[in-house]
Structures are given as C-alpha cells and as structure tokens.
Chain A
Amino acid sequence: MSPELAITLTVLLPAAATLLLAAFDKQPNLREAVSLLTAGALFIIILGLLQTVLDGAQPTAHWFDVLPGLSLTFEIEPLGMLFGVIASGLWIVTTLYSIGYMRGNKETKQTRFYICFAIAISATMGIAFAANMFTLFIFYEVLTLSTYPLVAHKETDAARKGARTYMGILVTTSIGFQLVAIVWTWVVAGTLDFEQGGILADKIDPTLLPFLLALYAFGIGKAALMPFHRWLPAAMVAPTPVSALLHAVAVVKAGVFTMLKVGVYIFGIDLLATTGAADWLMWLAAFSILAASVVAMTKDNLKARLAYSTISQLSYITLGVALATSLGVMGGAIQIAMHAMGKITLFMCAGAIYVATHKTEISDMDGLGRVMPFTYGAFFIGALSIIGLPPLGGAWTKWYLMLGAADAGQIIMVAVFMVSSLLNIAYLLPVVARGFFMGSTGPVAHSLGAAVAPTKGIQEAPLWCVVPPCLTAIGCLLLFFYVGDIYTLIEPVAFPEGRPQP
C-alpha cells in the first residue's frame, strides 16, 4: 500500500465504517465487531505509516482545493504521527471499554453512539495528519460537531445543558478567534502550510504577534486554556467512554496538538523566542496549571475532579510551547502521550466504579478499593503517572518540561511544575487511600446482582470494563521504558539543528 493511499485511508476508513455501523443497527454483536475491526485496521495502517516516517520520509496526500490556493492536504510529520499512533491505539482500548460500559449500563441509542465515535476518530486522524492550518481547522470543527451528540447522549435536561455549553464554548472560540487568526495568517503570509521554522517570520509586525498568538491560543478552545475551560467539566454528563474519548483520545489532545503545531510550524519556536510574543501565554498557562489543580481538590465528584485535572495537565503542553525552547516542545509532545495513557486509565476506572456501584461522589467510595482491587490498582498506577513518579511514563514529561523551563531561564516555571506535582498528589491519591484504607463498605448496590448481600469478596465491574484500564495502566509503565522511541520520533522537530550536546 502506497503511503498516500494509507493516509487517505486513515481518514476515510472510520468514516466508511459508519455505513456498516448503521446497517447493523439491529445486530449489536456485528456492529461491535465492525467497530473493533475498524479500530484494529486503522491501527495497523498507522503503524505502517510510522515505519515510513521513522525511515525519514514525510509522505503527503493531496485531496482537492476547497478555495483557490487552500486545499485539503495531508502530510505526515513526527508530531502528527505521535498523535495518530496514540489516538488510534487508544481507540481500540476505548472501543473494548465502550462495549463493556454501554452494555453493562444498558444505554440506549448505541448505534448513534458508535457512529459518532467513528466520525470523531476520522476527524482526529484528519487533524493529526493535516498539512496545513486550513485542513486542520476543518477537521477540528468536524470533531466538535461529531462529539456533540455523544455529550448529549442521555438526552436529559442536564445532558442538553452540558452539551450546549460544550458546543457553545468550542464553536464560539473556534469561529470567533481561531478562524480570524487563520484568515489573518493567510492574508499576511499567503500560505497556511505547516513548515519547519514557521511561516510568519518577517511577514507581520512583531508588535502584533502576541495578539495573533492570543487569537490562536484562545481560539483553540479544545486546549481548555483558562478562561475557556468550562466546557470540559460541562461535558462530564456524557457516558464515561465519551469522557475517555474527550480527555485522552481525541478532543483535548486535538486541542493541545493544534497548539503545538501552531507554535512550531506557524510561528516557529525561534520567532517566539526572539520576539517574546509567548511570554504572556507562559504566565497564563502557569496560572491555569495551578488554579485548575486547586479547583480539582474541591470537587467531590470523581469525574469533575478528573476534568479539572485534565485542564491543569493540558496547560503543561501550552506552557511547553510558550517556553519557546526545543526541550519545551519535546516535553509538550511527550506529555501528549503520557497524559493520554494516564488519564484514560483514570477515566475508565471511574466508569468501572460507576457501572459496578452507580457511585459518582468520592466521599461515597470509602473502602471500595477492597471490593474492586483491579480497578483501584489501575487507578493508582494511572494517578502515579499523572503525578509524574518513576517508573511511570509521566515522570518524563516533568523531566523534559523542567529542563525546558531551565533552558529558557524561567526558574519560576520550574517551581510551578514542582508545586503542580504536589497538588496532583493532593487531589489524586486521597481517592485511592479512601478506597483501600477507609471505612467499611456497606451493601454494594451491584448493577449485575443488585440484591447481593454485603460480602467481603471481590465484586468487579463487567470484564470489559476492567480489562481496558488494566491494559492502559501497564501501558503507563511501559511508556517509562520506551520513551526513547518517542524522543527519537520527535527529535527532528524539536531539534532541527541536531541534538544538543550536554
């Protein structure tokens, strides 16, 4: 298979699968099989492309011009490749988990759910492999629209309201700021292609750069930079697999990935460093990191706490870009992978707890860890990775980001990362501690055997709600040892002039 065809397939395959999903509306087993097969096939195609990229090639696929000079074109470069591998790999896990969760919870309208899910993945691939800002923007909007029905899935008043906030903030920011920024870039630079070193140098008055950057930074609402973060907690009304999709696989990752792309390929790290256009963004990101962590501590609802944790963690990446150093970019890219793996673990565990016990508040979960040891074990590992303790993947994020901050001479930012780690401990570990050490569990309202008398035995959620988080928890562990591969992949982007000598 030629690389060009492969790129096209990554976008079209999940989109085409929706037809089959719709056709098998009445045969759940076939429908789920289609979902899984598509996910698997997509991952294989992407692994094939990964090999091409590691060999140093950057294959492209040109579709057609939408406006004169503005085309839908895809090009595979290291950052996109990283995002593509993570999203497609986690899609498999999420699909497995969805099957367990949606069936275990007896949700309605599952066909619509899987169709929207597939479109969202298709859009995510489009974002990952976009060769220009125009293509990226189009798929960015497709992603927003395709996830709206997912957030509104339960169709209750609360779901409608949450979905409205979700949609409202994401579309407002993307059309209100991002579109203007893109057209502005197009008007001054005459191109929207992603190019190493950026396309804006010498094209625009440097005093205007911070404003343009602001339009981008706030316009990429999916990166949840404060004060445009409200959509993330609002989207918590969605079923848990959707939260996993939002927080780990697609939506927020698409946001911070776009932020990385804009920083590296539109502005260029050098331009940001020499003009200082991103200084304000650095402080704002630092504020986001700390403020969101503090808010997370006040939340008793587990998913809400995780949502604020996500807001905080995303700003790591924004901060990495704003540092405008090679190591900052490296740290940001690694954070995409590490946070995805860690956060999806946490969300799937939260979902498993909900399926098994229908509990959402942390204060109700005392002693649950003894009843659901696998779920809680996975949660513990995921939490440690988010906190950044070795031997888990998250440790590398902190390492490179702190190096980047030190490299930029921003000692305060180094301190921000340290304080943030402490805050992470403060809001994540109590969940685990309450589960294992506190209280005795009363009767556990079990979704499968609701009338079961209080037993001390293990009562886990259905198998396919528990296996996926355990897999990703192992993934967190593996990422610690295989970070070198990510480093090698991203190296040409972060260090275009060659690896720095220590």
Chain B
Amino acid sequence: MLSSLTPHLPALQVVIPLIAAPLCTLFVNRHLAWAIAFTASVAAFLVSALLLVSVLDGAVISYQLGGWAPPWGIEYRIDAANAFVLFIVSLIGALVLPYARQSIEREFDASTHTYFYTCYLLSLTGFLGVAATGDAFNVFVFLEISSLSSYALVAFGAKRDRRALTAAYNYLIMGTIGATFFVIGLGFLYMVTGTLNMADLAVRLDDVGDTRVTRVAFVFILVGVGLKLAMFPLHLWLPNAYSYAPPPAAAFLAATATKVALYVLLRFMFTIFQFDHPIQGLTFEYVVMPLAIAAMFAASIAAVFQEDIKRLLAYSSIAQVGYMLLGVALLTETGLTAGIIHLFNHAVTKGALFLAVGCFVYQVGSSRLGDLKGIGKTMPWTTAAFAAGGLSLIGVPLTVGFISKWYLIQASLEAGSLLIAGLIVASSLIAMVYVWRIIEVAYLEPAPEGREAKEAPLSMILPTYALVAASLYFGINSELTSSAASVAANALFSATNLASEGASH
C-alpha cells in the first residue's frame, strides 16, 4: 500500500493539506478541525522528509500531474533545492499547530476556530505548492493561494487589536501588486517562448537570447517576487502584518512566507534565466546587493528602536532577508549555499522567537518591552527559549546563526571582499544591541507588582523548544543542513542541470 504511494509523493505533498483544508470547515467541531489540520500537517511533513532523503544525492524527481507529459501538462519537479524548502515549510507547519490550539483557544471565539485552521492549511498548501511545482504559472497560482489565506490569517488578529485589519489590507494591496508584477513578467516570458514549464522555459530562453522582452520580464519578476519576500525597500507590508497577526500565524508566516518567496526568486534567477545573462549579473551586483546591505543596516537599526517585541522581530526579519539576498547576490556557489542555509537557519530561529513571544502574549497579554520587565523570573522556560533564539539571531557559536554567518563571511572573503565581510559582522553587532535590550529587560529589571504571569502551558512550550532545539542542534552539527544546502546550491548553480534534462523531453 505505502510503496504504491511512493511515486506520488510530490503530488501528495500538496494534495494532502489541500483536501484537509475544506474538511476543517465542513466538520464544524473545532477539536475535530484541529485534529484534521494536525494530521494533515504531520503527513505533509513526513512526505517532505521522504522526498528530501530521496533527492539528497543530487537526484531529480519529475512527476507528471494527471499523466500529461511536460511541457504540456503540469510537472512537479523535486530536486535538492525545493525538497529542502518543502522540508522547512512543512516542519514549521506541523510544529506550529499544537501550539496554535492553546493560543487561539484563548484569543478567538470558538466559532471561528475552524476558519483559522482552514486558512492555515490553505496557506501551507500554497507554500508547498509553490515549492513543489515545476511550472511557472502554477507558481503564480499557488503563490496567490498562500497569499490570500495569509491575508486572512493576519486579519484574524483583529480580535485582539483592530489595527490587524489595516495591516491585512496593506498586506493585501502590496501582495497583489507583487503578484501582478510577477504575472506580467510571466506573460512576457510566455510571449517569447510559448511555454510555461520551467525546464522548457530555460531551454527556449537560451535560444531567444538577451532581448528587451526578456530583460523586462526579468525585472518584472524580480520586483514582483521582491515584494513577496520583503526585499528592502519593498518591505513596508511586513512589520504591521507580523506584529498584528495572531502569534501562531505570525510565527508560521515569519518562518515560511519570505523563505518560499526567496526560493521562487532563486528558481527564476538561476534556473530559468540562464546564469550568464549579462543583465542578471549586473542587476545582482548593482541593485540587489546594495539593497541587501541597506536592508541589513536600515532594518536592524529600525529594530533597535522598537518597543514591541513582535515588531522588533519583524524588522529583524527584513534584515535577515538581506543576509540571504546578499549571499545569493555574490553569485558564487558558496554564496548561494550561504543564502540557502540561512534560509533554513533563519526559519528555525525566527519561528522559535515568534513562538516564545506568543507565550508572553498568552500569559501577559502584551509583547511590549515595558510590560515584560523581569519576566525571566516568572516565565523562566519561555524566556530561556527566547534568549537562545536571540543568541542565534546574533550569530553566537553553537547556534545556527553562527553557521550562517560563517558561510556568509567565507563566501564574501572568497569573492575577495573584506569590505562585505566587515559589513556582515557589523550588522550582526546591531542584532546584538536589539537582542540584548530584551534580555536585559527580561532578566535584570525588577518585575512590576501585581503581574500574575506564570509559565505558559506545556503544549506551547514544547513546540517552542522543538524549534530552539533545532536551532541549537543544527548549530552544533550542521552536517545535514550544510550538505543539503550545498547540494541545493549546486543544483541551482549548475543551471544546465534542469535545462539539459528539459531538452530531453
């Protein structure tokens, strides 16, 4: 039975949460809905783990949806790069759900729980679909599925704070503009090549060469995806969306949304547009890299001045996206490896941090620094988890953040730039400033009189610690992540990989 399902894993990855999503609403009982959502997300995680294991040696799985051969039918194509992303997304997806149950039980009316789980699963479906598919238009479809449900997830925060509605609305407008840019770019590509299959696109674009249309398509897609991944200065939707979303949603989105968008960028930039297109190198060198560096500094400095921890973490996310883009923009294999490994590392770290903040919100009712004085004494486990995540954000050894920094610095030194290496460490020192502000308040300020906060419930602590443990384990032994990232980078970097196989179809 199971072995007969094995060939269908790429489809199951997306279909399981997709089918489970409406079921959550159909079965009106909120406990049943949670059980369905949780089962589906765990199943999706198992599938992604199986997929990752089978492609780690550099193999490529091509799955033809409905038996229609590419480039006419829709192809799901799993290589190390997207298997890695699938793994991260479904890991976070499965971990946040047990946490979410307790958290939304306190926050929302019982009648809305089922909708939350439906939106959550749809969002998960969208992210997984974006990563799994090998069809460019399919990317757009799934990107919209995930985005629309994310807007809804953010808007759920309105129960606590009405400003969530404007945040969701802003997110919707900006996200839609991004999607529009993206689809216009796709339109140009389709115009000159007549195909939407990624592998096929790569081959045909090579024949078309460097024309004005491909350049325009390139730029449209870059801007469109840049909006989705909060590339500085297209990040304006992010701080509000993450700070007003309900904590489990914020954790899920912060850990996955921008990561998936980054994957899309990598796939288009490195696989579809051949690497040697002159405009691409120039754009990365003179546009993306300066913007990435600007993000590292501007967003980190903005984070230093935030009073609300969720907002602080949101700004930090923008800076971290800068690191990933910087690694990618170096246009070397080490740089790409650094970008991809930071994608994983940051997902784990930021997920843990947002979950920990969620615990604060659950018990104290606020994530403002002023309300969290001396919280280390009353909520020692949560605060310790937050501190560990914070250390990883700074890049202290034995955390994943350090592994990221190491690769990034190595990549920039290999590229011969001591200056960029210096900028990387300088900006991570700003991270130290904003993390330490919180640690000082949490541990060294006296707790105010009359605050009745006790430790968060176990069902919230455990998922938080699962991510903290991951961010420590992969910082101590980065065997799995670094090899997966370097295989993935290799798969993307040797763009011929897809192209040559695509040609055989």
Residues in A with CB closer than 8 Å to B482 are 67-68
Given the contacts A176-B429, A183-B406, A184-B413, A66 and B477 also touching, CB distance less than 8 Å: yes
Chain B, 442-461, contact with A by CB distance < 8 Å: what is the 0/1 string? 01100000000000000000
* Residue on A nearest B481 in the bound complex, by CB: A67
- Report the minimal beta-carbon distance from A189 to chain B, rounded to whole angstroms: 12
Q: Are A67 and B403 in contact (CB under 8 A)?
A: yes
Of the residues A67, A171, A180, contact of B421 by C-beta under 8 Å: A180
* Residue on B nearest A211 in the bound complex, by CB: B418
| 415-467 of chain B: CB within 8 A of chain A | 418, 421-422, 425-426, 428-429, 432, 436, 440, 443-444
Q: Are A187 and B410 in contact (CB under 8 A)?
A: yes
Given the contacts A167-B436, A171-B432, A176-B429, A183 and B410 also touching, CB distance less than 8 Å: yes
* Residue on B nearest A144 in the bound complex, by CB: B396
Give bound CA distance, A462 to B238, whole Å.
60
Stretch from A31-39, A135-143, A469-477 contacting the other chain: A135-143
Give bound CA distance, A184 to B414, whole Å.
8
Q: Are A176 and B426 in contact (CB under 8 A)?
A: yes
Residue B405 is within 8 A (CB to CB) of chain A in the complex: yes
- Report the minimal beta-carbon distance from A49 to chain B, rounded to whole angstroms: 25
Q: Interface centre among B405, B421, B444, by most A CB within 10 Å?
A: B444
Of the residues B406, B432, B444, B483, contact of A155 by C-beta under 8 Å: B444
| 373-429 of chain B: CB within 8 A of chain A | 391, 394-398, 403, 405-406, 409-410, 413-414, 418, 421-422, 425-426, 428-429
* Residue on B nearest A171 in the bound complex, by CB: B432
Of the residues B397, B398, B425, B477, contact of A180 by C-beta under 8 Å: B425
The SS class assigned to the A binding surface is helix
Residue A304 is within 8 A (CB to CB) of chain B in the complex: no
Given the contacts A67-B406, A141-B396, A176-B426, A160 and B444 also touching, CB distance less than 8 Å: yes
Q: Are A175 and B428 in contact (CB under 8 A)?
A: yes
Residue B102 is within 8 A (CB to CB) of chain A in the complex: no
Q: Interface centre among A155, A177, A183, by most B CB within 10 Å?
A: A183
| 205-247 of chain A: CB within 8 A of chain B | none
Residues in A with CB closer than 8 Å to B478 are 66-67
- Report the minimal beta-carbon distance from A167 to chain B, rounded to whole angstroms: 7
| 62-116 of chain A: CB within 8 A of chain B | 64-68
Q: Are A180 and B444 in contact (CB under 8 A)?
A: no
Give bound CA distance, A186 to B334, whole Å.
14
Residue A425 is within 8 A (CB to CB) of chain B in the complex: no
* Residue on A nearest B396 in the bound complex, by CB: A141
Residue A164 is within 8 A (CB to CB) of chain B in the complex: yes
Residues in B with CB closer than 8 Å to A155 are 444
* Residue on B nearest A154 in the bound complex, by CB: B444
Give bound CA distance, A66 to B476, whole Å.
5
Q: Are B429 and A187 in contact (CB under 8 A)?
A: no
Q: Are A180 and B422 in contact (CB under 8 A)?
A: yes
Residue B207 is within 8 A (CB to CB) of chain A in the complex: no
Residues in A with CB closer than 8 Å to B403 are 66-67
Given the contacts A67-B482, A142-B397, A167-B436, A187 and B414 also touching, CB distance less than 8 Å: yes
Q: Are B396 and A179 in contact (CB under 8 A)?
A: no
Of the residues A138, A160, A180, A184, contact of B440 by C-beta under 8 Å: A160
Give bound CA distance, A65 to B478, whole Å.
8
Residue B109 is within 8 A (CB to CB) of chain A in the complex: no
Given the contacts A68-B482, A164-B440, A175-B425, A183 and B395 also touching, CB distance less than 8 Å: no
Q: Are B406 and A64 in contact (CB under 8 A)?
A: no
- Report the minimal beta-carbon distance from B238 to chain A, rounded to whole angstroms: 26
Given the contacts A175-B395, A180-B418, A187-B413, A152 and B444 also touching, CB distance less than 8 Å: yes
Q: Are A179 and B422 in contact (CB under 8 A)?
A: no
In the complex, the number of residue pairs spanning A and B with C-beta atoms less than 8 Å apart equals 74
- Report the minimal beta-carbon distance from B386 to chain A, rounded to whole angstroms: 15
- Report the minimal beta-carbon distance from A447 to chain B, rounded to whole angstroms: 25
Give bound CA distance, A179 to B403, whole Å.
12
Q: Are A65 and B436 in contact (CB under 8 A)?
A: no
Chain A, 168-195, contact with B by CB distance < 8 Å: what is the 0/1 string? 1001100111011001101100000000
Residues in B with CB closer than 8 Å to A152 are 444
Give bound CA distance, A67 to B443, whole Å.
32
Chain A, 145-157, contact with B by CB distance < 8 Å: what is the 0/1 string? 1000100100100
Residues in B with CB closer than 8 Å to A68 are 479, 482-483
Give bound CA distance, A175 to B409, whole Å.
11
Q: Are A179 and B426 in contact (CB under 8 A)?
A: no
- Report the minimal beta-carbon distance from B385 to chain A, rounded to whole angstroms: 16
- Report the minimal beta-carbon distance from B49 to chain A, rounded to whole angstroms: 22
Q: Interface centre among B397, B414, B478, by most A CB within 10 Å?
A: B397
Residues in A with CB closer than 8 Å to B422 are 176, 180
Q: Are A183 and B409 in contact (CB under 8 A)?
A: yes
Q: Are A186 and B398 in contact (CB under 8 A)?
A: no
- Report the minimal beta-carbon distance from A258 to chain B, rounded to whole angstroms: 14
Of the residues A138, A160, A184, contact of B397 by C-beta under 8 Å: A138
Q: Interface centre among A64, A65, A67, A180, by most B CB within 10 Å?
A: A67
Residues in A with CB closer than 8 Å to B398 are 66, 138, 142
Residues in B with CB closer than 8 Å to A176 are 422, 425-426, 429
Residues in B with CB closer than 8 Å to A149 are 443
* Residue on B nearest A188 in the bound complex, by CB: B413
Residues in A with CB closer than 8 Å to B413 are 180, 183-184, 187
Residues in B with CB closer than 8 Å to A67 are 403, 406, 478, 482
Q: Interface centre among B396, B410, B475, by most A CB within 10 Å?
A: B396
Give bound CA distance, A249 to B391, whole Å.
26
Residues in A with CB closer than 8 Å to B394 are 171, 175
- Report the minimal beta-carbon distance from A122 to chain B, rounded to whole angstroms: 13
Q: Are A145 and B406 in contact (CB under 8 A)?
A: no
Give bound CA distance, A168 to B396, whole Å.
13
Give bound CA distance, A167 to B394, whole Å.
13
Give bound CA distance, A403 to B440, whole Å.
48
Residues in B with CB closer than 8 Å to A164 are 436, 440
- Report the minimal beta-carbon distance from A300 to chain B, rounded to whole angstroms: 28
Given the contacts A68-B479, A141-B396, A179 and B409 also touching, CB distance less than 8 Å: yes
- Report the minimal beta-carbon distance from A151 to chain B, rounded to whole angstroms: 11
Give bound CA distance, A183 to B403, whole Å.
12
Given the contacts A66-B477, A171-B432, A176-B426, A145 and B410 also touching, CB distance less than 8 Å: no
Residues in A with CB closer than 8 Å to B429 are 171-172, 175-176
Q: Are B479 and A179 in contact (CB under 8 A)?
A: no
Residues in A with CB closer than 8 Å to B475 are 66
Residues in A with CB closer than 8 Å to B405 are 175, 179
- Report the minimal beta-carbon distance from A254 to chain B, rounded to whole angstroms: 14
Residues in B with CB closer than 8 Å to A138 are 397-398
Residues in A with CB closer than 8 Å to B397 are 137-138, 141-142
* Residue on B nearest A141 in the bound complex, by CB: B397
- Report the minimal beta-carbon distance from B468 to chain A, rounded to whole angstroms: 16
| 46-74 of chain A: CB within 8 A of chain B | 64-68
Residues in B with CB closer than 8 Å to A65 are 477, 479
Residues in A with CB closer than 8 Å to B418 are 180, 184
- Report the minimal beta-carbon distance from B248 to chain A, rounded to whole angstroms: 30
Residues in A with CB closer than 8 Å to B483 are 68
Q: What are 23 A-B pairs at a CB distance below 8 A?
A: A64-B477, A65-B479, A66-B403, A66-B478, A67-B403, A67-B406, A137-B397, A142-B398, A155-B444, A164-B436, A171-B432, A172-B432, A175-B432, A176-B422, A176-B426, A176-B429, A180-B413, A180-B418, A180-B422, A183-B410, A187-B410, A187-B413, A187-B414
5 nearest CB pairs, A to B: A138-B397, A183-B409, A187-B413, A141-B397, A176-B425
Other A-B pairs beyond A65-B479, A175-B432, A180-B422, 12, CB < 8 Å: A65-B477, A67-B482, A141-B396, A172-B432, A175-B429, A179-B405, A179-B406, A179-B425, A180-B421, A183-B406, A183-B410, A183-B421
B residues neighboring A (CB under 8 Å): 391, 394-398, 403, 405-406, 409-410, 413-414, 418, 421-422, 425-426, 428-429, 432, 436, 440, 443-444, 475-479, 482-483
